[in-house]
Structure 1
Amino acid sequence: MASYLNADLHCHSVASDGTLTPEALAQRAKLAGVELWALTDHDEVSGQQRAMAAARSQGLPYLTGVEISITFAGQTVHIVGLGFDAADTLLVEGLRQTRGGRGERAREMSEQLAQAGIPGAYEGALKYVGNPELISRTHFARYLVEAGVCSDTNEVFRRFLTEGKPGYIPHRWATLGDAVTWITRAGGLAVIAHPARYKFTPNEEYALFSEFKHHGGLGVEVVTGSHLPSEYVKYAEMAMEFGLAASRGSDFHSPDESRIDLGALPYLPGQLTPVWELLSERIHH
């Protein structure tokens, strides 16, 4: 029955690029029937104490979380960490260095957008940023919608901010080995986030899973807001092929923008080992 747990182990708060506070997310998760929750802000653990306290006040079991940006085969890939010590020095310092490149990248994005006839995008994006170290494409997208350049954030990403379009600046993130090591040394479990989102060839994807496993990664998101039902099946099979536990998370960012709400996903397929079985001793009640 362990697969039939309404766990939501991937979402974002104002500490990165979400629009809700950790407290509002905890309340929303509880009201949505979530039975195990993790806040996984991008490259940032500053919201963890608030999230844990809010979850406890709601009577909601909680796992610490983070979503780390890495570069693999020339693409940005996300690795979720769950159940770690959020005060671990190696992890905190690694995340600080990973965040460090965002400000410079944001200014370059703004310069490109100015050349495309959209001035002031950096200052505009800053209005949406809870933490200037974590300025991201999402914040620029919100500004371009506010400024009337695009009707919604999807249009922003179609016309700007993606490879080959104005405003796209690649970022050099941590390595796969770095991210998995930071998480596991801090007592946590590393998970490949929404694997269907990456535009890898079959060989590159196989290499990602193989290297991830080699570095000590133990999980993969199977059921996520970014996956189609056919992709649940594909990654359930890959989880079994590579001996990985399965995770489940909405990737919720905002009531207005997210494809799926907290707690609204289908259950994990029953034949898989859920990540929470491996993390039972790390759950905060």
Structure 2
Amino acid sequence: MRAQNILNADLHCHSVVSDGTLTPEILAERAKANGVELWALTDHDEIGGQHRAAAAAKAQGLHYLTGTEISVTFAGETVHIVGLGFDTDDAEMQQGLRNTRGGREQRAREMAESLAKVGIHGAFEGALKFVGNPELISRTHFARFLVESGVCRETPEVFRKYLTEGKPGYVPHRWATLRDAVTWITQAHGVAVIAHPGRYNFSANEEYALFTEFKAHGGQAVEVVTGSHTPQEYVKYAETAREFGLAASRGSDFHSPGESRTDLGALPFLPGDLTPVWELLSDRIQE
């Protein structure tokens, strides 16, 4: 397998195991059909789909890296840290992810109560239809319910009107710490990656602090080319990777054919002078 920057790697996407709408098997088929050569499934705070994803990748002739996306609280914001190439049997990572998932159901019930106060009833049960497991319920599942019930036309509208800070359905959650997430990943022999940094509402000083602390804890990479970044942000975070000596990752953050603005495998390649994250993980790639 080529290990250069022109490799079509997609190292960030979600299945029905968290808040995606496709199974790991269908995602593997879609990735293969779209020309992906190296793939990772990165469900939120969950590794329960990893064996299925690896088996599906093998059946499709795809190279595969284990993955997850861990929710972290940093400077009052929710930040996502992707883990790649780790040992899925690592006990501390499994326990850490269980603890992180543990607060989701209570938060979801509070969100439903808040929505009921503005006349939207049955939101918890409605959201649960889209996930099936209260441990994995998220704002995305509430958004799908509100679209299905006709409250909003599309999921971005739901987030704007109801599920962001200051809106009726928003409830903050205390996630893992940055140190926790990076430590779980690295002690399980994986590489920690800051996911889609352009999405966070940080000042320049806060963003600098995020990257500084991330690297100090052992983080090694950043998503440069990702579905939620603009071309200008590709350039910005390529420079950030150079500044902090981080490897670069690439991932669509694909959730659903009807919701995601970038399909699996459809992103531009990484800038040629950056170190691709998969070069750090060559011995962890499953063939």
TM-score by length of 2: 0.99
Query: 2:108 is matched with which residue: 97, 106, 109?
Result: 106
Please report how far the alpha carbon of residue 44 of structure 1 lies from its aligned counterpart in structure 2 after TM superposition.
0.1
2:124 is aligned with what amino acid?
A: Y
Deviation string 1:207-241 (CA, Å, 9 cap, x unpaired) is 00000000000000000001000000000000000
Deviation string 1:142-193 (CA, Å, 9 cap, x unpaired) is 0000000000101101110100000100000000000000000000000000
Counterparts of 2:89 and 2:138, CA distance in 1? 24
Give the RMSD, CA atoms, in angstroms: 0.6
Please report how far the alpha carbon of residue 263 of structure 1 lies from its aligned counterpart in structure 2 after TM superposition.
0.2
Q: Is the 8 A contact 1:9 1:38 kept in 2?
A: yes
- 1:160 is paired with a residue whose SS is helix
Query: 2:10 is matched with which residue: 8, 11, 18?
Result: 8
Q: Does 1:127 align with 2:134?
A: no
Deviation string 1:103-161 (CA, Å, 9 cap, x unpaired) is 00000000000001000000000000143211000000000000000001011011101
Query: 2:26 is matched with which residue: 21, 24, 27?
Result: 24
- 1:77 is paired with a residue whose SS is strand
Alignment of structure 1 residues 64-83 onto 2, 5 Å: 64-83=66-85
2:173 is aligned with what amino acid?
A: H
Unaligned runs of 5+ residues in structure 1 are none
Q: Is the 8 A contact 1:42 1:68 kept in 2?
A: yes
Query: 1:141 is matched with which residue: 128, 140, 143?
Result: 143
What is the aligned partner in structure 2 of residue 60 from structure 1?
62
Counterparts of 2:51 and 2:109, CA distance in 1? 31
1:161 is aligned with what amino acid?
A: L
Aligned-pair identity (%): 76
Alignment of structure 1 residues 266-277 onto 2, 5 Å: 266-277=268-279
Alignment of structure 1 residues 239-254 onto 2, 5 Å: 239-254=241-256
Alignment of structure 1 residues 169-248 onto 2, 5 Å: 169-248=171-250
TM-score by length of 1: 0.99
Counterparts of 2:90 and 2:258, CA distance in 1? 34
Aligned residues: 285
Q: Is the 8 A contact 1:3 1:268 kept in 2?
A: yes
